[in-house]
Structure 1
Amino acid sequence: MNRILQLFMLLLPLAISAQIDKIEPPFWWSGMNHSKLQIMVYGDEIARYTPEVKNAVITGITKTENPNYVFITVDTEGLDPGTYNIDFKKGKRTVFTHAYELKKRTPGSNIRKGFDASDVIYLLMPDRFANGNPANDSHPELTEKVNRNFEGGRHGGDIQGIIDHLDHIEALGATAVWSTPLCEDNDKKYSYHTYAQSDVYRIDPRYGTNKDYQRLSEELHKRDMKLLMDYVTNHWGLEHWMIKDLPAYDWIHQFPGYAQTNYRMTTQMDPNASGRDRRYCMDGWFVQSMPDLNQQNPLVLNYLIQNAVWWIEFADLDGFRVDTYSYNDKEAIALWTKAIMDEYPHFNIVGEVWMHDQAQMAYWQKDSKIGAIQNYNSYLPSVMDFTLHDAVTVVFKEKNPTWDKGMIQVYENFVNDFLYPDVNKLLVFAENHDTARINELYPDLKDYKLIMTLIATVRGMPQIYYGSEIGMKGNKSKGDGDIRRDFPGGWANDENNAFTASGRTDLQNEYFDFTSKLFNWRKGAEVIHSGETTQYIPENEVYVFFRHDKDRAVMVIVNNNPAAQTIKLDRFAENLGGFSKGEEVLSGRETGLDSTLGVPAKTSYIIELKK
């Protein structure tokens, strides 16, 4: 009988330890700047026990109104890599123990270099890019199954599909991949976009595993390419396991219950805004299926900081794109951003600040003088140039240019560059996964060439959207599914394989060859990465600007006129002085700089100037 009792007592801790359903972060690293580690432990009435950690100092234990949670803060400063036991005690008796690992940090991890203006970012939606592993198209633990016939459903693209086609992305001249979110999203429908995440420490099994995501990073780094994670700080999905059993009532914003954001991001800096309007912008839910996280709760904010740092270390990331950045609690998101940039001073984060006024967008960039008026600093290195995007979507189809319509709208966008603390850290783009497809707006290849020339040569960091390099279209008015079409050739039975030159149509090859030549040239064009800009007021829908430094200069001509134009070069003497000739990059032709230059209709020139 005593032997049975002894055996029972030995097995009891193992049985009770099954109460621990989740520990997050699942592990950490020694030598981190973020050394006060908040460990969230979740299990049935786990708060009944008092945690202790041998050989480490617990600086705080937080229990909430939900007895299924306990938050343990451990000071990891000076701790060596290894396993540290967390004892869960009832009185003086240890009921069970959990082994928590501090891993050895990769040397130099803290000085990793993020993406910058020397990069070209390729944005893709993994579910719609390529299906490299059909075995994971559906998963027994997740509700929505593969259905390629449903435009808004799961189509089966995955991480392996991205890895399989890195040759295509690299050949295009891209140096970085931005994938829309890959963490688990267990929504019943439309889960493919993965912005309503249900587990932020787990890659969605329909995309692959956490190890697969690490492997994608490794494969990119072998090619000297970078990986950007699409990170969501503002909200989770209704199916998130923590939303189903909230740690605390104020873990999310409640009114009580649901209230939708008013989407008026201007309330964030409007000195005349009502408190109610400001609250509904920041605290309202983006949509009913996406509960808004309360980042003013220090447990929530710490959780988000640690999750972001965890992914950077785990997957060796090179940057973040942060979804709906300007909907967050602006003081809290600044703390989140600063914590990451303090940990990784050379990292880069670009925020989605979808606004239509340069002053309002500049407000959100680090060290903004506009933000300083309100004593605000977001610490965010990069913002997206939505006003340039706005201009691009209309100017190339303007049939009646006027004083303020046509190419002058592009020119005027750059007039306001003085508002930004760092224009070289603006993300420039013609389209993304939320906007109209540029080839739908402009079905003529000539317009595509004008637009890509502009995106490739202006200041900032260019981003291109998957499929546009082969002329892919998509009608936004039909819904998001149409602008997120499957890349032809990404599925085994596709008739058209646009990943290879032999599989592409003649027109698809024209699109691809132009894009590839343009962005591969840009890789080595340092004057484009870091040079200054001098622009000239457009005449007859011909926009001319120069990128230059003390030794080099590139002249860019964008003729948006439906007729050929002859431009007089003496107008540009201040930038052409000291140069005797030029070479047009796209054609390889030598160009004289004597008096005039003819430019065919709807044609762009990129001329490297030579002495």
Structure 2
Amino acid sequence: MKIKLFIVCICCFIAFGNAQIKKVEPPHWWSDMETSEIQILFYGDSLANYEVKSDGLQIIKVDKVVNPNYLFVTVNTKNVVPSTASFSFSKDGSIAFTHPYEIVARNPSSRERKGFDSSDVVYLIMPDRFANGNRDNDSHPEMSEKVERSNGGGRHGGDIQGVINNLDYIHDLGATAIWSTPLLEDNEPKYSYHTYAQSDLYRIDPRYGTNEDYKKLADEMHERDMKLIMDYVTNHWGSKHWIIQDLPFAEWIHQWPEGFTRSNYRMATQFDSYASEVDKKGCMNGWFDTTMPDMNQSNPFVLRYMIQNAIWWIEYAGLDGLRVDTYSYNDKEGIAQWTKAIMDEYPNFNIVGEVWMHDQAQISYWQKDSKIGALDNYNSNLPSVMDFTLHDAVTTMFSEDETGWDKGMIRAYDNFVNDFLYPDVNNIMVFAGNHDTNRINGIFQSDIKKYKLVLSLLLTTRGIPQLYYGDEIGMLGNRDEKGDGDIRRDFPGGWFVDGRSAFKSASTNHGRTSDQEAYHKFTKKLLNWRKEATAVHNGNLLQYIPFDNVYVYFRSNETQTVMVLINNSSKIRKLDTSRFKEGIQSFTQGTDVISDENFDLTSKITIQPKTALILDLK
């Protein structure tokens, strides 16, 4: 009887002993991937004391590192059909425990997925502040910070289900893509709603929902012909990340002998011909903040981990793009390899990098095939960058009623003059604000005329327009005076206890206010017109030097010509159309896409103060 019991216990240990393995990342992989050689991270108590073999997968090599709790097992999945392989872990010649590893079938069209582009309008959401669709996950026993909606810097309870519940609102508004700030687990004890200090890169934060909820969001969006963009963070992780808590080796992150060293934030040192080594290191290796350890992308283990993680999420959730946080703070050679690996896997995909700089030459350095980067023998492989110089211009020039040599609408003109620096001007993200900037309607103190001027420009110029949630209803916020929480206010109506919902029309009970409706109506009409306006998706841009603070430009392709007139002055202007003959060509009429009013292009056009006309030429 004792012998039988002993045999049963041994069998149970072999079958279930993989409880000793605490983490396996990536948790599974797919068949028929370009990225077929993968490095599987196994984590558990003293795993390095075991020898590992696989039934079903070819092991290329096994790496044991300083920390004995890690094994890095590189396997070849090429030509492996969907199946469940097995890893066995042995000691002294005997199998101690096993672990299954699944290779799943890949969607046949996965590789050819089309990323977001200039035909899209991107709607940026901060999920904790957008809508609370599931009150049961507002707090979670495994997560340190609990919901506290009264705290501007605390968690408010918005989640993935809240986004799903309001997809029809976003679709009806006319946006075609959603960029959500990060949704992966962030277990910092404070300020975790920000979610840029992530603690698990394979898990959606349970206060937002589950991995399955995220996949459901993508599926629901695809049913509406919308695209989902993940906010991905390569430069830093959170101090509570389980790997940071038990590093495989010290070089996984950038360490400083003197302890915490903050980045100098001087991104220009990445290409400054005269920069000192200490300053370069201070930017690239310094920590973004005390809770955000700086990742060492120059280490091949770290780089491989990040490449595989990004591809895993794209494949698992069916993503249509990535927005990469603090792109230009990364090890520039490492991040170029990371970007290339993803684009090699998905040739029609799109990735936009946050390059928060204030000079077009410096921003363009980071776009793929940049002429500026080539001077430095550098190619980031990054398809898209963010147009921060245009952001700087639009937040200033619409408050400048009088023209000047360098003021008023000349700021827009001069911004586009420098487009020759970019290798792909249509693949640049244009925006008036995001989760890190002051609200555009706060800057302009709820002047809807200025809001309309901003949107008229952003939605008709070259590039990919991005809107920040709530701007379309006139939401306010000033981070300089009241902190980040003020520019990340809760969307009205996103919580069950809210008395009025801006998700609903002003004509419905407890819907939008009349002021909110005015913002929304304009935004909706312009966005939905833009969906079919191919000339502003990828047409040529012809611009004229602004006179009297009036800026005129044309977007045209073989099937459509659009004439945009922006009167940024405080006076009525009458424009002689003969000056614009090159753009007007043989057209004689234009219909304003907002008012539906017709304009005779053979005579002078009268345009009211602080008003834009977007004329579809006939």
Tell me the TM-score normalised to structure 2 length. 0.98
| Cα distance between partner residues in 1 of 2:547 and 2:75 | 65
Equivalent residue of 1:457, what SS? coil
- Which of residues 493, 497, 511 is equivalent to 1:493? 497
Q: In the alignment, is residue 456 of structure 1 matched against residue 464 of structure 2? A: no
Equivalent residue of 1:112, what SS? coil
Aligned to 1:276: 278
- Which of residues 601, 606, 609 is equivalent to 1:593? 601
Aligned to 1:350: 352
Aligned to 1:365: 367
Matches within 5 A, 1:238-317: 238-256=239-257, 257-317=259-319
| Cα distance between partner residues in 2 of 1:546 and 1:64 | 60
Aligned to 1:481: 485
- AA aligned to 1:517 is K
| Cα distance between partner residues in 1 of 2:222 and 2:19 | 39
| Cα distance between partner residues in 1 of 2:400 and 2:518 | 25
- AA aligned to 2:406 is D
Aligned to 2:527: 519
Equivalent residue of 1:86, what SS? strand
- AA aligned to 2:271 is M
| Cα distance between partner residues in 2 of 1:11 and 1:215 | 36
How much does 1:15 deviate? 5.7
After superposing the two structures, state which structure 1 stretch, 53-62 or 378-387, moved more. 53-62
| Cα distance between partner residues in 2 of 1:119 and 1:454 | 15
Equivalent residue of 1:147, what SS? coil
How much does 1:551 deviate? 4.0
What per-residue deviation string (whole Å, max 9, x for no partner) do you get for residues 355-405 of structure 1?
Answer: 000000000000011101111000000000000000011101124432111
| Cα distance between partner residues in 2 of 1:104 and 1:428 | 37
- AA aligned to 2:570 is P
What per-residue deviation string (whole Å, max 9, x for no partner) do you get for residues 103-160 of structure 1?
Answer: 0001110000000000000001000000000010000000000000000000000000
How much does 1:410 deviate? 0.8
- AA aligned to 1:140 is P
- AA aligned to 2:564 is V
Equivalent residue of 2:322, what SS? strand
| Cα distance between partner residues in 2 of 1:233 and 1:456 | 30
Aligned to 2:616: 608
How much does 1:277 deviate? 0.5
| Cα distance between partner residues in 2 of 1:355 and 1:507 | 34
How much does 1:3 deviate? 1.2
How much does 1:495 deviate? 1.7
- AA aligned to 2:100 is A
What per-residue deviation string (whole Å, max 9, x for no partner) do you get for residues 237-286 of structure 1?
Answer: 00101100001110000013321110000000101000110011111110
Q: In the alignment, is residue 577 of structure 1 matched against residue 598 of structure 2? A: no
- AA aligned to 1:83 is T
Aligned to 1:466: 469
Equivalent residue of 2:400, what SS? coil
- AA aligned to 2:356 is W
| Cα distance between partner residues in 1 of 2:351 and 2:207 | 27
How much does 1:17 deviate? 1.9
Q: In the alignment, is residue 178 of structure 1 matched against residue 179 of structure 2? A: yes
| Cα distance between partner residues in 2 of 1:152 and 1:174 | 28
Q: In the alignment, is residue 161 of structure 1 matched against residue 162 of structure 2? A: yes
RMSD: 0.9
What per-residue deviation string (whole Å, max 9, x for no partner) do you get for residues 190-237 of structure 1?
Answer: 100100000010000000000000100010000000000000011100
Tell me the TM-score normalised to structure 1 length. 0.99
Matches within 5 A, 1:376-395: 376-395=378-397
Aligned to 1:200: 201
Aligned to 2:416: 414
How much does 1:564 deviate? 1.1
Equivalent residue of 2:291, what SS? coil
Aligned to 2:214: 213
Aligned to 1:321: 323
Equivalent residue of 2:111, what SS? helix
| Cα distance between partner residues in 1 of 2:13 and 2:542 | 74
Question: 5+ residue gaps in structure 2?
Answer: none
After superposing the two structures, state which structure 1 stretch, 436-445 or 3-12, moved more. 3-12
What per-residue deviation string (whole Å, max 9, x for no partner) do you get for residues 294-334 of structure 1?
Answer: 11110100000000000000000000000000000000000
Q: Percent identity?
A: 60
How much does 1:8 deviate? 2.3
Aligned to 1:106: 107
> Retained in 1: the 8 A contact 2:130–2:163?
yes
Q: In the alignment, is residue 531 of structure 1 matched against residue 530 of structure 2? A: no
What per-residue deviation string (whole Å, max 9, x for no partner) do you get for residues 31-72 of structure 1?
Answer: 111111110000000111111111321111111100000000
Question: 5+ residue gaps in structure 1?
Answer: none
| Cα distance between partner residues in 2 of 1:522 and 1:94 | 63
Q: In the alignment, is residue 73 of structure 1 matched against residue 74 of structure 2? A: yes
Equivalent residue of 1:109, what SS? coil
| Cα distance between partner residues in 2 of 1:340 and 1:55 | 26
- AA aligned to 1:283 is N
> Retained in 1: the 8 A contact 2:56–2:84?
no
Equivalent residue of 1:51, what SS? strand
- Which of residues 396, 414, 439 is equivalent to 2:398? 396
Matches within 5 A, 1:418-429: 418-429=420-431
> Retained in 1: the 8 A contact 2:60–2:75?
yes
- AA aligned to 1:368 is S
Aligned to 1:510: 518
Q: In the alignment, is residue 50 of structure 1 matched against residue 51 of structure 2? A: yes
Q: In the alignment, is residue 435 of structure 1 matched against residue 437 of structure 2? A: yes
| Cα distance between partner residues in 1 of 2:34 and 2:549 | 53
Matches within 5 A, 1:1-16: 1-14=2-15, 16=17
> Retained in 1: the 8 A contact 2:201–2:309?
yes
How much does 1:571 deviate? 0.7
